Structure 1
Amino acid sequence: MATKRRPLRTSAAGPSSSNMNFRPGGPDVKRAEAKGTRPTAAPTSVREILVMMVMHACKKTIFFDTNLKVALYLGSLFLVSLIGDFIPFPKTYFARSDNLFNVYFVKVGWGWTLMLTVPFLAMTSYTLCCGDMKKMLRHHIPRIVIATFFWLFWTKMFNIIETSYGRCTVKGFGTKSACLKAGHLWNGFDISGHAFILIHSSLVLIEEARPIIKWESIKDYLRNEIHDRSISEHSSTNPLRNLSEEEMRNLQFLYDRLTPIIRTLFIGMATLQLLWDVMLVGTMLYYHHMVEKVISGIIAILTWYFTYRFWYRTTLLPDPAGSGSFFYQRENKDTFVYGRRPTMTTTGPTNVNAGSRANMATGAFGGLAAQPKFMGMPLYTNMRTAATAASGNQTGASNNGVDLNS
């Protein structure tokens, strides 16, 4: 005959605790009283999910492997243009020089690029500098000034080359302006300004959009750091741990206020970059000769490589896009800081803002690489617990999994 099961909590008082077959300390413990816990993120709304889906699609579009994209630019400029020089492609709407996209976008392409890039650069840099306007103006704004200078320099140079090394189709006109005013054509070596501006703008958009990578992680870092400071706990892995209270307040305020605008600008930048690629295909098919387009493409790519891949990765100003008073992109394989010493942060042998591969491997982020992880996230946030777990794993490995004290 079956007997009645005894409750685990026979001595508990009160009507709510009678006949409750669970162990003490479970649901009765409030979250505020629990130790070793962190605040969780707020529930995600349907609108937020839709926005993140759009952002993910835009990131996949604009952050296509840059090295591969550069190779595709050069290869297609050569191959497609070479075929077009010998076999005319069928005429389409994009073959007309007065098509809508050519007149209102390509011919003023750098203006469209600046219209989206400048506010995006200013807002992201101002946020990452924790509201320090001088740092933003000194370390970030010069990048767009340099890009504009190279745009002006090369377009003027292309025009000078065409004017100096050309001739009118009708004799008697020694200058390009006189030839064109008379209604004749000027035959010169016309390096494609369209191909240059489209490739130059696309690469600048890609590089200046990089701060959006892992931008959402700043919210998690803020929440955890505010919680740690409220309970007087010092985190060794949070990149915000070295910020002052004023910088934390500025960062939280700017992040909350500017993130919706930054996301909107990024979606516009991704759309514009896709449009530039489409218009570049039209330029390959219908405009200029192969040599003129290949030379302009090489110049645009060399300009990008010299500035974003060489100059900005040295210790000279300006800093790369995404740098600031803290470093939040340590898991980005194409991050800007590899091999670069920071100029905005304090120097030191274990400066987390340096973001070098050596620091990540040797534990400058608090031994993050040595900690046990689940789904890519560290299991421990307290360094003492992590060190104990790591030493236990090493001991178990050295003993081949056999407990010597048993």
Structure 2
Amino acid sequence: MAEVSPRLQERPNDAVTAAPILQGYIYPPSASSKYFFTSAFSQTRARRGGWGGGRPGERSGEEQEFGDRHAPEAAAATRGSARAPEPKHASRGGTPGQCACARSGGAEAPVRAKGDTVAERARRGGGRWLTRSGMEHLERCEWLLRGTLVRAAVRRYLPWALVASMLAGSLLKELSPLPESYLSNKRNVLNMYFVKVAWAWTFCLLLPFIALTNYHLTGKAGLVLRRLSTLLVGTAIWYICTSIFSNIEHYTGSCYQSPALEGVRKEHQSKQQCHQEGGFWHGFDISGHSFLLTFCALMIVEEMSVLHEVKTDRSHCLHTAITTLVVALGILTFIWVLMFLCTAVYFHNLSQKVFGTLFGLLSWYGTYGFWYPKAFSPGLPPQSCSLNLKQDSYKK
């Protein structure tokens, strides 16, 4: 056991001071004992006017060594014990959540609880909050499009609406042409990146939509492949009709020196040669836009009728995929209808648009209205009320 200082032996009444010093010599001081030692020394100094009972400001060797070693901890402990705990909420006056120090003009501001802000909640959830919010907006759009495009009335009256808008736009163009706008420019974004490749957009979005919805309802891969053959039929119709239009324009046209159809260039016998030499080819140009936009819009509406039977679990990945495809197809359909109206108002003459729209309507009715209901065909979109197909619930 360590020896006690002679000065401490001469003052047996200082038990409060001697006990912690002995503990400090025998055992390594812990965090709590450091604060106890310094508090005891402070009390002794305040009572006797100095350190160790000598002259004010005089300290023994042991006290000098101990005080120098633990002075920073003593100062921190004194500051911590001197500050009263602040109330979490105000007892009277001020607003809830405002601490007393903030009301009294103190330097310390109230501490915000962790996770109070939207950014902290999103960061703590790893972005799940934003994903969930985006999915809610997507489902709202999908619900709106279901109520607009999936109705039987839309499939029944959309062909007549397209014919009426084409006739009205053509008459407006002939009688009172509209002023030029962004959509009247052939190089606008919708025309360059959507209408020019309208069948590619329709094909790429209908391919996964038909595959997912038909397999979800039937569970038969063979029937899904049979239904996907509608896209091959549509590709054949698109290729054949556009080739017919090109040949009609070729055999009915001539090359001119100016857009005013002056000065025929008989040496150029094809549209390609005429354009390469700086000429202008003029023939009976059936509106390919009117044909293709009519056919694509009606085909998408026909295939989306399957949504009457599709019921998916929101937690399943299939629900997200189908919802996204429905929104994309719905937006694409509105683009096709909008650009069909622009074609009717700004481009081609009445006869060219009439023939183009007529080809589109005949292609739609010849497939979905006449051929597909028959046995040897790709078939119509599955409907439980007519085909009595077994529905797969995807509960796995």
Question: Residue 11 of structure 1 aligns with which residue?
Answer: none
Q: Does 1:202 align with 2:297?
A: yes
Take 2:250 and 2:365, find their aligned partners in 1: how far apart are those partners?
Answer: 28
Q: Deviations over 1:360-382 (max 9, x none)?
A: xxxxxxxxxxxxxxxxxxxxxxx
Which runs of structure 2 are paired with 1:90-101 in the superposition (5 Å)?
Answer: 90-101=179-190
Q: Deviations over 1:309-367 (max 9, x none)?
A: 221112222121125xxx2xx3xxxxxx3xxxx5xxxxxxxxx449xxxxxxxxxxxxx
Q: Which amino acid aligns with 2:204?
A: M
Q: Which amino acid aligns with 2:265?
A: K
Take 2:162 and 2:137, find their aligned partners in 1: how far apart are those partners?
Answer: 32
Q: 1:206 to 1:293 in 2, by over 3 A?
A: same
Aligned with residue 134 of structure 1, among 194, 203, 222: 222
Take 1:161 and 1:274, find their aligned partners in 2: how far apart are those partners?
Answer: 30
Take 2:134 and 2:339, find their aligned partners in 1: how far apart are those partners?
Answer: 33
Kept after mapping to 2: 8 A contact 1:61/1:270 = no
Aligned with residue 309 of structure 1, among 369, 376, 386: 369
Take 1:203 and 1:142, find their aligned partners in 2: how far apart are those partners?
Answer: 17
Q: Does 1:146 align with 2:206?
A: no
Q: Does 1:171 align with 2:258?
A: no
Question: Residue 183 of structure 1 aligns with which residue?
Answer: 278
Question: Residue 4 of structure 1 aligns with which residue?
Answer: none
Q: Which amino acid aligns with 2:247?
A: I
Take 1:46 and 1:174, find their aligned partners in 2: how far apart are those partners?
Answer: 60
For residue 108 of structure 1, give the secondary structure of its aligned residue in structure 2.
helix
* Larger mean Cα displacement after TM superposition, 71-80 or 189-198: 71-80
Take 2:194 and 2:298, find their aligned partners in 1: how far apart are those partners?
Answer: 17
Kept after mapping to 2: 8 A contact 1:204/1:304 = yes
Take 1:60 and 1:69, find their aligned partners in 2: how far apart are those partners?
Answer: 15
Take 2:174 and 2:279, find their aligned partners in 1: how far apart are those partners?
Answer: 23
Take 1:177 and 1:316, find their aligned partners in 2: how far apart are those partners?
Answer: 41
Q: Does 1:120 align with 2:180?
A: no
CA apart distance, 1:71: 0.7
Take 1:285 and 1:202, find their aligned partners in 2: how far apart are those partners?
Answer: 18
Q: Count matched residues.
A: 249
Kept after mapping to 2: 8 A contact 1:168/1:187 = yes
Take 1:280 and 1:61, find their aligned partners in 2: how far apart are those partners?
Answer: 19
Q: Which amino acid aligns with 1:69?
A: L
CA apart distance, 1:62: 2.2
* Aligned-pair identity (%): 29
Q: 1:180 to 1:320 in 2, by over 3 A?
A: same
CA apart distance, 1:61: 3.1
TM-score under structure 2 length normalisation: 0.59
Q: Which amino acid aligns with 1:281?
A: L
Kept after mapping to 1: 8 A contact 2:287/2:352 = yes
Q: Which amino acid aligns with 1:287?
A: F
CA apart distance, 1:175: 2.0
* Relative contact order, higher structure (CA 8 A, sep 6+): 1
Question: Residue 74 of structure 1 aligns with which residue?
Answer: 163
Kept after mapping to 1: 8 A contact 2:138/2:327 = no
Q: Which amino acid aligns with 1:310?
A: F
Greater gyration radius: 2
Kept after mapping to 2: 8 A contact 1:58/1:267 = yes
Aligned with residue 330 of structure 2, among 270, 275, 287: 270
Q: Which amino acid aligns with 2:208?
A: P
TM-score under structure 1 length normalisation: 0.57
* Larger mean Cα displacement after TM superposition, 115-124 or 61-70: 61-70
Q: Does 1:59 align with 2:179?
A: no
Q: Does 1:287 align with 2:382?
A: no
Which runs of structure 2 are paired with 1:5-404 in the superposition (5 Å)?
Answer: 51-63=138-150, 65-130=154-219, 132-137=220-225, 139-169=226-256, 170-172=264-266, 173-216=268-311, 256-323=316-383, 327=384, 330=385, 337=386, 342=387, 352-353=388-389
Kept after mapping to 2: 8 A contact 1:61/1:274 = no
Report the aligned-residue RMSD: 2.3
Question: Residue 229 of structure 1 aligns with which residue?
Answer: none
Take 1:53 and 1:213, find their aligned partners in 2: how far apart are those partners?
Answer: 17
Q: 1:47 to 1:292 in 2, by over 3 A?
A: closer
CA apart distance, 1:214: 3.6
- Structure 2 residues without counterparts, runs of 5 or longer: 1-131, 257-263, 391-396
For residue 216 of structure 2, give the secondary structure of its aligned residue in structure 1.
helix
Q: 1:49 to 1:108 in 2, by over 3 A?
A: closer
Q: Deviations over 1:12-56 (max 9, x none)?
A: xxxxxxxxxxxxxxxxxxxxxxxxxxxxxxxxx988765543222
Q: 1:190 to 1:129 in 2, by over 3 A?
A: same
For residue 313 of structure 1, give the secondary structure of its aligned residue in structure 2.
coil
Take 1:304 and 1:177, find their aligned partners in 2: how far apart are those partners?
Answer: 31
For residue 168 of structure 1, give the secondary structure of its aligned residue in structure 2.
strand
For residue 186 of structure 1, give the secondary structure of its aligned residue in structure 2.
strand
- Structure 1 residues without counterparts, runs of 5 or longer: 1-44, 221-254, 331-336, 343-351, 355-406
Q: Which amino acid aligns with 2:189?
A: L
